[in-house]
Chains A and B, each alone.
Chain A
Amino acid sequence: MTDLNLKPQDLDRLGQALLTLAKELWIVKDRVRVLEAALADANIIVADTVDRYEPGPELAAELELERARLIEELLDTLAPGKQ
């Protein structure tokens, strides 16, 4: 391939798209974990239960840890600390 589709000036938009994608991925990951917790609590599948589910301290801490891991992984890829 002699010609690149993306030019250097497209990098910012590419980066923004990546972050948007990461946000959406996190929302889905978060939702799946909440769904599991809600199902375990209620033994039924009700979408509204997930929407309104408020994580307790234990689940909130677990989500925070997972969220930090995802973000750090993303940042390590984008900014590996080497020049």
Chain B
Amino acid sequence: MDYSLRQRGRAAIDFLADLRNLSDRLEPRTDERAALDPETLPADPDELQRAVTPILEADPDFRVLRMCRDWTLEQHGQIAMDAFDEIRPDIEARLTALQSGPASLQLDSGLQPPAYWDGYEFHKSTGGWDGHDYMGFVHGELIHRRMVNPNFAGIIYAVRKSVAEAAPVNNPKKILEVGCCSGQFTQGIAEVYPDSEIWACDLSVKQLEQAQRYANEHGLQWQLFQAAGEDLGLEGNQFDLVTSYAMFHEIPLEASLANLKEYLRVLKPGGYAVVGDIKAYHAYNNYDRWKNDYWNQLHGGDPFWREYAATDLADIALQAGFAEAAWEGLGERQYPFVLIARKGSADD
């Protein structure tokens, strides 16, 4: 949807995105000064923190880098909400109109969300997923499209699409996406599989509403519904593909197992679960693993990051009952890591 920010909101968002980008340049300087050989460092994340953190935190430039990252994390949600509120009178009627169209949205007023859902602020975002009446637009358009995407060299949508393309399925009839948020991965799925019936769920009402607006604007017949991946409330054996992107690292490991068991139940025999997410810890050298752990687990508002990245998701999928499972990084950068797990069929 076309919209223009007001001067204050636009300038504040530009400032925050550029501060994040430009302060990143301090990182190679601090890496160089620390001069740590990954081969001599311990592999275990706790031991790594004990060995490396005091060295980096003694560098004043590193402390400035951390201050900048903390500040941008703590401010981004509020700055985006304020920017939205400035343009609300201009766009609210259009946003309301987009609630009608080919996409359906089924909310569950009796839903009991899992304990982890309310346990912390995701990525330190003020307001979390539902803290503003248009949090879906705020998160999808203002935070992701205008702040996060430029910090990842503009490739976040292509990365999502690459996960949809990695699924070993031909013309799947029915696809389910779990944890669809504001519909950014759903868009990639719809591009890769334009003839498939697409279902998508999330716990957040506000994010689902934004996914519905996007689908309606683009004439897409997505069937959106509110549910946790552990308890989809759907009939079994009906999907050719169940997929998810960047959700598993936001939930505890036991919820990952429960999700995969539920995906197995709703998949047709021979169907696939495809889960894209952050890079596995074993794919980093010991120093880069320390950085990933430090900035995300310890300072990024991601309390389940480490337990996800340090566990072989293929083992969890086999434990859930899948017949085959592989968990590997895509391409040269090995990012994202993708689980491809097949449900057994009568022929197995």
Contact with B along A17-37 (1 / 0, CB 8 A): 001001100110011001000
Query: Which label, helix, strand, loop or mixed, suits the secondary structure of the A interface?
Result: helix
Residues of B within 8 A of A23 (CB): 12, 15-16, 75
Residues of A within 8 A of B65 (CB): 79
Contact with A along B9-49 (1 / 0, CB 8 A): 00110111011001101100100010000000000000000
Contact with A along B54-85 (1 / 0, CB 8 A): 00000111001101100100010000000000
Contact with B along A69-82 (1 / 0, CB 8 A): 00110010011010
Smallest CB-CB separation from A31: which chain B residue? Answer: B7
In the bound assembly, the distance between CA atoms of A83 and B32 in angstroms comes to 13
- Known A16-B67, A71-B19, A83-B59: A63·B26 in contact at CB below 8 Å: no
B7, B8, B59, B64: most-surrounded residue (chain A CB, <10 A): B7
Smallest CB-CB separation from B25: which chain A residue? Answer: A75
Residues of B within 8 A of A79 (CB): 26, 60-61, 64-65
In the bound assembly, the distance between CA atoms of A31 and B64 in angstroms comes to 28
- Known A30-B11, A68-B22: A51·B6 in contact at CB below 8 Å: yes
In the complex, B4 has a CB within 8 A of chain A: yes
In the complex, A62 has a CB within 8 A of chain B: no
Residues of A within 8 A of B61 (CB): 79, 81, 83
A26 and B15 contacting across the interface, CB-CB below 8 Å: yes
Smallest CB-CB separation from A28: which chain B residue? Answer: B11
Contact with B along A42-83 (1 / 0, CB 8 A): 000000001111100000000110011001100100110101
In the bound assembly, the distance between CA atoms of A50 and B14 in angstroms comes to 17
- Known A19-B19, A75-B23, A83-B33: A67·B14 in contact at CB below 8 Å: yes
- Known A19-B71, A81-B29, A83-B60: A27·B4 in contact at CB below 8 Å: no
A52 and B4 contacting across the interface, CB-CB below 8 Å: yes
Residues of A within 8 A of B29 (CB): 81
In the complex, A12 has a CB within 8 A of chain B: yes
B67 and A12 contacting across the interface, CB-CB below 8 Å: yes
Contact of A51 among B7, B22, B25, B68 (CB under 8 A): B7
Residues of A within 8 A of B16 (CB): 23
Residues of A within 8 A of B71 (CB): 15-16, 19
Smallest CB-CB separation from B72: which chain A residue? Answer: A19
Residues of A within 8 A of B60 (CB): 79, 83
Chain B nearest CB from A17 CB (Å) reads 10
Contact of B4 among A16, A30, A54 (CB under 8 A): A54
In the bound assembly, the distance between CA atoms of A8 and B25 in angstroms comes to 26
B23 and A27 contacting across the interface, CB-CB below 8 Å: no
Residues of B within 8 A of A30 (CB): 7, 11, 14
In the bound assembly, the distance between CA atoms of A78 and B68 in angstroms comes to 10
Chain B nearest CB from A21 CB (Å) reads 12
In the bound assembly, the distance between CA atoms of A50 and B4 in angstroms comes to 12
Binding site for A on B (CB under 8 A): 4, 6-8, 11-12, 14-16, 18-19, 22-23, 25-26, 29, 33, 59-61, 64-65, 67-68, 71, 75, 86
Binding site for B on A (CB under 8 A): 12, 15-16, 19, 22-23, 26-27, 30-31, 34, 50-54, 63-64, 67-68, 71-72, 75, 78-79, 81, 83
User: Ordered nearest first, which 6 A-B pairs have the shortest CB separation?
Assistant: A79-B64, A79-B61, A30-B11, A78-B64, A15-B67, A26-B15
